[in-house]
């Protein structure tokens, strides 16, 4: 059933075509929140370009698989959105692709932080818990924005959350218990060495490892420079 909103004038964010009620500051904020999946994809691509980590690469593959599943489900169910719009990727809204994407992202990241990231310091433990809360809040905001802005019904968002959560859990478990066993082999391939693709799975805290490595290398090079000056 399509909702008629004759008294609401819709305005879109430039270059994105995400519409919100004109003059509604809450709607404007939620419209920007609904762009989080794009920011996540760009961030993930940037991280892969600079870090070349196999786990991050497989995380991106999981996001693509999740989006493919959403496209298939929409094509099969063919349930329309609550309001028709002139500019939209697909007229079908069941399940919500934004809700499914963010649920996949949130569930995967929470599992990753709780299982893969190890912190012994109180600060590290607090950071990990705050990160889990942050990704869950971000996912909820995006899901709520799709209902508030009439891009999806509550049912469409709910089933998107279910599909994304299931996919995120399954994909993480597959990466953690199955795919990661082949990471050393993949990293040893000639093409992987050429593109400097690496396996960081055995390292429990990559950020701390990189910090210590960079600091040690900087000190070593500084000593070499000082010795040349003497």
* pLDDT, tens digit (0-9, with 9 covering 90-100), for 89-122: 778 889 999 999 999 999 999 999 888 877 677 8
Give yes or no: residues 63 and 111 share one domain.
yes
Give yes or no: residues 165 and 226 share one domain.
no
User: Would you say 56 and 198 are in contact if contact means Cβ atoms under 8 Å apart?
Assistant: no
Quote the mean pLDDT of the chain: 88
Least confident interval from 36-40, 69-73, 121-125: 121-125
Give yes or no: residues 107 and 217 share one domain.
no
What is the rounded average pLDDT of the residues 214-229?
Answer: 82
Give yes or no: residues 143 and 213 share one domain.
no
Give yes or no: residues 125 and 195 share one domain.
yes
Give yes or no: residues 189 and 134 share one domain.
yes
Give yes or no: residues 71 and 164 share one domain.
yes
State which residues form the domain around 213. Answer: 204-230
Give yes or no: residues 108 and 214 share one domain.
no
Domains contained in the chain, number: 2
Looking at per-residue pLDDT, the higher value among 163 and 208 belongs to 163
Residues pairing with 14 in the sheet: none
What pLDDT, on a 0 to 100 scale, did the predictor assign at position 206? 73
Residue 1 in domain = no
37 contacts: CB under 8 Å, gap ≥ 6? 98, 101, 102, 105, 142
């Amino acid at each position: 059933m399509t909702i008629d909103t004759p008294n609401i004038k819709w305005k879109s964010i430039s270059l994105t075509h995400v519409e919100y009620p004109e003059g509604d500051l809450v709607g404007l904020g939620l419209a920007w929140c609904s762009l989080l999946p794009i920011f996540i994809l760009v961030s993930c691509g940037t991280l892969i370009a600079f870090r070349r980590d196999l786990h991050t690469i497989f995380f991106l593959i999981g996001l693509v698989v999740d989006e493919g599943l959403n496209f298939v489900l929409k094509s099969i169910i063919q349930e329309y959105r609550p309001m028709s719009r002139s500019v939209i990727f697909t007229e079908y809204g069941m399940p919500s692709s934004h809700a499914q994407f963010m649920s996949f992202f949130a569930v995967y990241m929470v599992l990753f932080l709780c299982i893969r990231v190890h912190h012994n310091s109180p600060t590290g433990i607090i950071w990990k818990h705050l990160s889990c809360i942050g990704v869950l809040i971000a996912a909820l905001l995006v899901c709520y924005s799709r209902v508030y802005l009439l891009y999806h019904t509550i049912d469409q968002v709910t089933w998107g959350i279910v599909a994304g959560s299931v996919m995120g859990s399954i994909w993480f478990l597959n990466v953690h218990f199955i795919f990661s066993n082949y990471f050393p082999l993949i990293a040893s391939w000639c093409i992987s060495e050429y593109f400097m693709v690496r396996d960081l799975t055995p390292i429990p805290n990559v950020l701390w490892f990189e910090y210590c490595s960079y600091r040690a290398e900087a000190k070593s090079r500084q000593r070499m420079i000082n010795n040349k000056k003497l």
